């Protein structure tokens, strides 16, 4: 159980720190040039610049990721459900990004796998918690 929680925390820290970094840079430089993201990625989308996607990434993966980490560290009741939800949020946002951009990159697949791994480990933590509660 301890190793699974530590793995979960490590994956959440990776996702949240990457999201905070990317989100911050997209908000402060809506052209995307700081991160070498071409503006044509926005063609056909509802966005005119990268500020709104930056806020979405910063809040939904960065800030919610930090909240999720806190729930895991403090072992707040049903923290595993929060972990599964955070993993699902990452997956949904990556898939939406793939659809909006219309192109796929290895980094998207890596973060998609990270989101899936977070959700799966959260589900496993839930099962372990149930077994522990049943033994009491």
H helices present in the chain, as ranges: 2-28, 51-57, 64-73, 79-101, 106-135
Residue reference for tokens 């911050």: 24
pLDDT confidence band for 133 (50 / 70 / 90) = low
Distance CA 134, CA 6 (A): 23
Distance CA 133, CA 60 (A): 31
DSSP code of 46? S
- The H or E element containing residue 36 is none
- Tens-digit pLDDT profile for residues 39-77: 999 988 999 999 999 999 999 999 999 999 999 999 998
Domain boundaries, the chain: 2-135
Q: Read off the pTM.
A: 0.90
């Amino acid at each position: 159980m301890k190793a699974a929680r530590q793995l979960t925390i490590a994956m959440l820290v990776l996702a949240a720190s990457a999201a905070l970094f990317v989100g911050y840079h997209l908000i402060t430089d809506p052209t995307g040039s700081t991160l070498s993201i071409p503006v044509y990625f926005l063609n056909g989308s509802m966005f005119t610049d990268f500020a709104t996607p930056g806020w979405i990434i910063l809040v939904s993966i960065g800030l919610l990721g930090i909240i999720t980490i806190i729930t895991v560290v403090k072992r707040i009741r049903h923290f595993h459900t929060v972990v599964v939800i955070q993993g699902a949020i990452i997956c949904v946002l990556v898939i939406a990004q793939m659809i909006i951009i219309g192109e796929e990159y290895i980094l998207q697949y890596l973060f998609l796998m990270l989101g899936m791994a977070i959700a799966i480990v959260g589900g496993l933590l839930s099962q372990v918690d149930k077994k522990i509660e049943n033994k009491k």
